[in-house]
């Protein structure tokens, strides 16, 4: 941790155990959070079912909209593991944005990315066919994460993003694994080669054209 990071953490930092609900959908928001270590799940209840909107890691922030528009939280945030994060209140946030152009520009860019990601996810959730919805979300995750190496994701994470029961996700993934589109090891999905990525994308294209026949 650099001197600047250490100074920020000493002033705004908190250590939060895994499994802690930071806020719930509908709560009044007075703070935003910047993750230093650990993972946080953002979820929302849609038609009575909890759906995972995102899993956030080091360097990402959340909770900013409630302090920007002074409206209740639109989702629930829960730590998936022990976390260290900066907790920024409304007054401090306003001072940071007003006093530092670089921070303001980075924040605006991140908000634009967040809006695009939300739009992509909502489009995927609107697909009624479970297999097509899951493959669409999986292809998007592979595209975003493949830059950093082999793609790994758990069945539970995919089920949350797609709004599908774990057992249904496993059945669909087993079919994809049987034709070597991906590898399934226990609770983890693994896509290791470009050929598998290409197969996944071709499969999605075929389902979009022919529906359940593909």
DSSP secondary structure of the chain: --HHHHHHHHHHEEEE-TT-EEE-TT----EEEEEEES-EEEEEEETTEEEEEEEE-TT-EE-HHHHHH----SSEEEESS-EEEEEEEHHHHHHHHHH-HHHHHHHHHHHHHHHHHHHHHHHHHT--SHHHHHHHHHHHHHHHHGGGSSEEEEHHHHHHHHT--HHHHHHHHHHHHHTTSSEEETTEEEE-SHHHHHHHHHHHHHHHHHGGG-
Q: Residue 16: its pLDDT value, please? A: 96
Q: Give residue 18's pLDDT.
A: 96
Q: Among 90, 124, 158, where does a domain finish?
A: 124
Last residue of a domain, one of 109, 124, 139: 124
Q: Are residues 17 and 80 in the same domain?
A: yes
Please check the confidence at residue 136 and state whether its pLDDT lies above 90.
Answer: no
pLDDT score recorded for residue 23: 95
Domain of 186: which CATH number? Answer: 1.10.10.10
Residue 46 and residue 70 in one domain: yes
| pLDDT (average), residues 123-135 | 67
CATH of residue 70's domain is 2.60.120.10
Same-domain status, 106 and 184: no
Q: Please indicate, yes or no, whether residues 207 and 140 belong to a single structural domain of this protein.
A: yes
Q: Are residues 113 and 152 in the same domain?
A: no
CA–centroid distance for 48 within its chain: 20
Which of 151-155, 170-174, 188-192, 202-206 is predicted most confidently? 170-174
Over pLDDT 70: what percentage of the chain? Answer: 81
Domain count, the chain: 2
pLDDT tens across 83-101, in order?
A: 999 998 888 888 877 877 7
pLDDT surpassing 50 at residue 133: yes
Query: Exposure pattern of 117-146 as b/e (b: 16+ CB <10 Å)?
Result: eeeebeebbebeebbbbbbbbbbbbbeeee
- Regarding whether 132 and 91 lie in a shared domain, the answer is no
* Residue 2 backbone phi and psi in degrees, to 5: -70, 170
Query: Do 138 and 90 belong together in one domain?
Result: no
User: Residue 195 sits in which domain range?
Assistant: 128-213
- Could you say which of 124, 153, 169 is where a domain stops? 124
**Residue 116 and residue 22 in one domain:** yes
- Same domain membership, residue 120 and residue 137: no
Asked if residue 132 and residue 116 are part of one domain, the reply reads no
Strand order in the sheet with 49-56: 21-23, 76-79, 40-46, 49-56
Q: Are residues 22 and 80 in the same domain?
A: yes
> What number is the average pLDDT over the span 6-11?
80
């Amino acid at each position: 941790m650099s001197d600047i990071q250490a100074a920020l953490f000493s002033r705004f930092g908190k250590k939060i155990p895994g499994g802690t609900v930071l806020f719930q959908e509908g709560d009044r928001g007075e703070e935003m959070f910047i993750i230093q270590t650990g993972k946080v799940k953002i979820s929302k209840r849609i038609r009575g079912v909890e759906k995972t909107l995102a899993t956030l890691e080091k360097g990402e922030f959340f909770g900013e909209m409630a302090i920007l528009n002074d409206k209740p939280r639109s989702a629930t945030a829960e730590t998936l593991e022990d976390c260290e994060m900066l907790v920024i209140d409304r007054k401090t946030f306003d001072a940071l944005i007003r006093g530092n152009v670089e921070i303001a520009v980075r924040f605006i860019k991140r908000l634009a990315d967040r809006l695009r990601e939300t739009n992509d996810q909502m489009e995927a959730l609107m697909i009624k066919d479970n297999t097509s919805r899951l493959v669409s979300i999986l292809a998007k995750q592979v595209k975003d994460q493949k830059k950093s190496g082999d793609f790994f994701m758990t069945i539970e994470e995919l089920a949350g993003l797609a709004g599908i029961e774990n057992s249904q996700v496993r059945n669909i993934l087993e079919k994809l694994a049987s034709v070597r589109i991906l590898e399934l090891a226990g609770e983890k999905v693994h896509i290791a080669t470009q050929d598998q990525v290409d197969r996944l994308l071709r499969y999605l294209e075929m389902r979009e054209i022919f529906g359940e026949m593909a």
